[in-house]
Amino acid sequence: MRRMMKKALSAILCAAMVMSMTGCGNTGTSTTATDTTATETTEATAASGETNSGAAGGDKVTLNVWHQWSNDTNELKAIYEKAVEDYMTENPNVVINSETLDTEAYKTKISAEFAGDASGIDVFYYWGAGMARKLVNADKLLPLDDYLTDDVKGKILEGSTGAFEFDGKLYSVPSFSWYMTLFCNKDLFDKAGAKIPTTYEELLDASKKLSALEGVTPMAAGAKDGWNAAFIYQALALREMGAAAENKMLAGQEDFGAEGYKDAADKVVELYNAGAFGKNPLESGNDDANAAFISGTAAMRLMGSWFANQVYTDDTATIDPANVVACKIPMIDGKGNDTDYCGGFVESFWVNKNTKYPEEAAKFAIYINEKMGVAAYETGSGFSGWTTEADESNLNPLFIQIKDLLGEGKEGVLAWDTSLDSEPATIHNEQTQTLFAPNADTEAFMEEHEAAINQ
Amino acid sequence: MFGLHKNERLDYIMDRMLGKKRYIAVFVLPALLLFLVFGIAPLITTGVYSLFDYDGIGKMDFLGLNNYIKLFTEDRYFPRALKNSFVLAGASIFIQLPISLVLALILAKGVKGEKAFRTIYFIPVVISSMVIGQLWMKIFHSEYGLLNIFIRFLGMKDFEYSWLSNPSTAFISTVVPSIWQYIGYHMLIFYAGIKSISTDYYEAARIDGATNWQTAIKITIPLLAPVLKTCMVFALTGSLRAFDLIYVMTNGGPNHASDVPGTLMYNNLFRKGLYGYGSAQAFFIVLECIILSFIISRIFKKAEDNASAI
On the question of pLDDT at A55 being above 70, the answer is: no
- Are B43 and B120 within one domain? no
B59 assigned to some structural domain: no
pLDDT class of A45 with cuts at 50, 70, 90: very low
Residue A181's pLDDT is: 96
Contacts of A197 by beta carbon, 8 Å cutoff, 6+ apart: A182, A184, A203, A205, A206, A327, A330
Q: Are strands A123-127 and A340-351 parallel, antiparallel or unpaired?
A: antiparallel
Q: Using a CB-CB distance cutoff of 8 angstroms, which residues of chain B are in contact with residue A107?
A: 270
CA distance A135 to chain B (A): 7
| For chain B, percent of residues with pLDDT exceeding 70 | 97
Residue A347's H or E segment, with its range, is: strand A340-351
What does the pLDDT look like over A430-452, one tens digit per residue?
999 999 988 899 999 999 999 99
Q: Are B87 and B261 in contact (CB under 8 A)?
A: no
Domain harbouring B256, CATH code: 1.10.3720.10
Task: Report CB contact under 8 Å: A423, B274.
Answer: yes
Q: Using a CB-CB distance cutoff of 8 angstroms, which residues of chain B are in contact with residue A433?
A: 253-255
Residue A5's pLDDT is: 54
Q: Using a CB-CB distance cutoff of 8 angstroms, which residues of chain A are in contact with residue B23?
A: 5
Q: Which domain holds residue B94?
A: 73-309
Spatial separation of the C-alpha atoms in residues B119 and B191, rounded to whole Å: 12
On the question of pLDDT at B254 being above 70, the answer is: yes
- Are B230 and B148 within one domain? yes
B64 assigned to some structural domain: no
- Average pLDDT, whole number, for chain A? 86
B62 assigned to some structural domain: no
A224 in contact with B, Cβ within 8 Å: yes
- Are B44 and B147 within one domain? no
Spatial separation of the C-alpha atoms in residues A192 and A189, rounded to whole Å: 5
Closest CA to A293 of A309, A317, A315, A271: A317
Residue A2's pLDDT is: 55
A426 in contact with B, Cβ within 8 Å: yes
Task: Report CB contact under 8 Å: B255, A134.
Answer: no
- Are B110 and B9 within one domain? no
Residue A158's pLDDT is: 85
B111 in contact with A, Cβ within 8 Å: no
* Range of A49-58, A228-237, A281-290, A386-395 with top mean pLDDT: A228-237
Contacts of A186 by beta carbon, 8 Å cutoff, 6+ apart: A196, A323, A324, A325
Q: Are B181 and B245 in contact (CB under 8 A)?
A: yes
What does the pLDDT look like over B175-217, one tens digit per residue?
999 999 999 999 999 999 999 998 898 899 989 988 888 888 8
Domain ends where: B14, B34, B49? B49
What does the pLDDT look like over A132-170, one tens digit per residue?
988 998 899 999 999 999 999 999 998 889 899 999 999
Name the residue among B29, B34, B162 with its Cβ closest to that of A279: B162
Spatial separation of the C-alpha atoms in residues A241 and B248, rounded to whole Å: 36
Residue A46's pLDDT is: 42
- Are B175 and B298 within one domain? yes
Spatial separation of the C-alpha atoms in residues A334 and A336, rounded to whole Å: 7
Angstrom CA distances, A317 to A180, A291, A309, A313, B100, stand at 21, 8, 11, 8, 47
Helix (H, G, I), strand (E, B) or coil at A346: strand
- Are B194 and B146 within one domain? yes
Angle at A270 between CA A269 and CA A271, to 5 degrees: 90
- Are B38 and B180 within one domain? no
Task: Report CB contact under 8 Å: B166, A423.
Answer: no
**Residue of B35, B165, B247, B251 for testing the chain A interface, max A β-carbons within 10 Å:** B165
- Are B200 and B304 within one domain? yes
On the question of pLDDT at A27 being above 70, the answer is: no
Mean pLDDT over B28-56 rounds to 91
B80 assigned to some structural domain: yes
B266 in contact with A, Cβ within 8 Å: no
Mean pLDDT over B251-258 rounds to 87
Q: CA of B269: which chain A residue's CA is closest?
A: A108
Residue B9's pLDDT is: 80
B 57-76 residues inside an 8 A Cβ radius of A: 57-59
- Are B15 and B94 within one domain? no
Residue B110's pLDDT is: 81
Task: Report CB contact under 8 Å: A134, B166.
Answer: no
Residue A420's H or E segment, with its range, is: none
Residue B76's pLDDT is: 87
Residue A88's pLDDT is: 95
State the amino acid at position A453 in one-letter form. I
Residue A6's pLDDT is: 57
B165 in contact with A, Cβ within 8 Å: yes
pLDDT class of A20 with cuts at 50, 70, 90: very low
On the question of pLDDT at A216 being above 90, the answer is: yes
Among A48-62, B94-108, B209-223, the minimum mean pLDDT is found in A48-62
On the question of pLDDT at A26 being above 80, the answer is: no
Residue B309's pLDDT is: 63
B126 assigned to some structural domain: yes
Peptide bond into B254 cis (omega under 30): yes
On the question of pLDDT at B124 being above 90, the answer is: yes
Domains and CATH numbers, chain A: 38-158+167-174+346-384 (3.40.190.10), 179-344+396-453 (3.40.190.10)
For chain B, what is the domain count?
A: 2
Q: Are B54 and B66 in contact (CB under 8 A)?
A: no
On the question of pLDDT at A422 being above 80, the answer is: yes
B 128-157 residues inside an 8 A Cβ radius of A: 141-143
B236 assigned to some structural domain: yes
- Are B271 and B209 within one domain? yes
- ipTM summary value: 0.80
What does the pLDDT look like over B279-303, one tens digit per residue?
999 999 999 999 999 999 998 888 7
Task: Report CB contact under 8 Å: B272, A426.
Answer: yes
**Bridge partners (DSSP) listed for residue B181:** none
Residue B217's pLDDT is: 87
On the question of pLDDT at A320 being above 60, the answer is: yes
B57 assigned to some structural domain: no
Mean pLDDT over A89-101 rounds to 93
Residue A58's pLDDT is: 55
What does the pLDDT look like over B62-103, one tens digit per residue?
988 999 999 999 888 999 999 999 999 999 999 999 999 999
CA–centroid distance for B95 within its chain: 14
- Are B32 and B102 within one domain? no
Task: Report CB contact under 8 Å: B57, A140.
Answer: yes
- Are B45 and B110 within one domain? no
What does the pLDDT look like over A68-80, one tens digit per residue?
988 777 778 888 9
Among A224-238, A373-387, B276-290, the minimum mean pLDDT is found in A373-387
Name the residue among A15, A423, A437 with its Cβ closest to that of B273: A423
Task: Report CB contact under 8 Å: A1, B17.
Answer: no
- Average pLDDT, whole number, for chain B? 89
Spatial separation of the C-alpha atoms in residues A1 and B20, rounded to whole Å: 15
Mean pLDDT over A178-194 rounds to 96
**Residue of A21, A280, A449 for testing the chain B interface, max B β-carbons within 10 Å:** A280
